[in-house]
Amino acid sequence: MSATTDNKRLTIRDIHALRRGGEKIAMLTAYDYVTAGLVDQSGVDIILVGDSLGNVVLGYETTLPVTLDDMIRHASAVYRGTTRAMVVCDLPFGTARDPETALSSAITVLQQSGCQAVKIEGGGAAAPIVARLVEQGIPVMGHIGLTPQAVHQLGGYYKHGRDAPAAQELIAAARDLQKAGAFALVLEFIVPEVAAEITRQLDIPTIGIGSGPDCAGQVLVINDLIGLNTRPVPGFARPRADVAAIIRQAVGEYVSDVKQHATAQTKEAAIG
């Protein structure tokens, strides 16, 4: 089953229809034209151009160095490579610090990339920012729990909602973001029982990552899914392939062929 029966690009209405119909929403990241096209052809509902590109594409330790220009460049390539999936772009660190800055950033992203929506990290404090964008016609996906842009403030990467006060804070934040107009909410690295309760209380879809199976959908970084990494993958990610091994083998064989061919030519020249 799919949200549409033709090749039209999915919209918020389609995503909400999946939620109402009880069909799980499949979301993946992508950062380039070719990968986005393959992901799109495979039936993913939403493609997120995440600021995780800082880690998996640009080689940074955190997402903090990623700029708005970085996001626009990659989001534009992803959008050009797709025809069906809804495309959402992260607003990177510092570009959504207040409602007016976020509005300016979001307008720039949508105008220059073609994406249909932006994603903003943050709990209840982000609700006024979300509301400002929504009132201007900009679709916003929220993001709570582990928010990588706040890694220094959070003190590292860990499971969120472990005790009752923390769980209640997450639930309240989720409700605030829904009230502000967010069309969906990413729940990252949240205790599964808490993520399930948030999903139960919200009308909008929740998209889990490392937050258990009871969210309305799931998202993964494409590199973690296909095993295209030089660093360890998160414990909650289960690679479905080992593309890194395929690349190493192919390149190794190529290097070997080149070296052997060069050696053969040298020997032939010496004999001649």
Pick the catalytic residue from 23, 188, 193, 268.
Answer: 188
SS3 121: strand
Instruction: Write out pLDDT tens, residues 169-189.
Output: 999 999 999 999 999 999 999
Q: Residue 206 in contact with residue 198, Cβ under 8 Å? A: yes
Task: Evaluate if residue 5 carries a pLDDT over 50.
Answer: no
The reported pLDDT for the residue numbered 235 is 78
CA distance 78 to 169: 35
Instruction: Write out pLDDT tens, residues 212-258.
Output: 999 999 999 999 999 998 888 877 888 999 999 999 999 999 999 99
Among 99, 91, 85, smallest CA distance to 70 is for 91
Q: Residue 66 in contact with residue 60, Cβ under 8 Å? A: yes
Q: Mean pLDDT score of the chain, rounded to an integer?
A: 92
**DSSP secondary structure, 4-63, as one string:** -SSSPPP-HHHHHHHHHHTPPEEEEE--SHHHHHHHHHTT-SEEEE-TTHHHHTS--SSS
Residue 73: HSE in the Cβ half-sphere, 13 Å Cα cutoff = 9
| pTM of this structure | 0.91
Please confirm, yes or no, whether 188 is among the known catalytic residues. yes
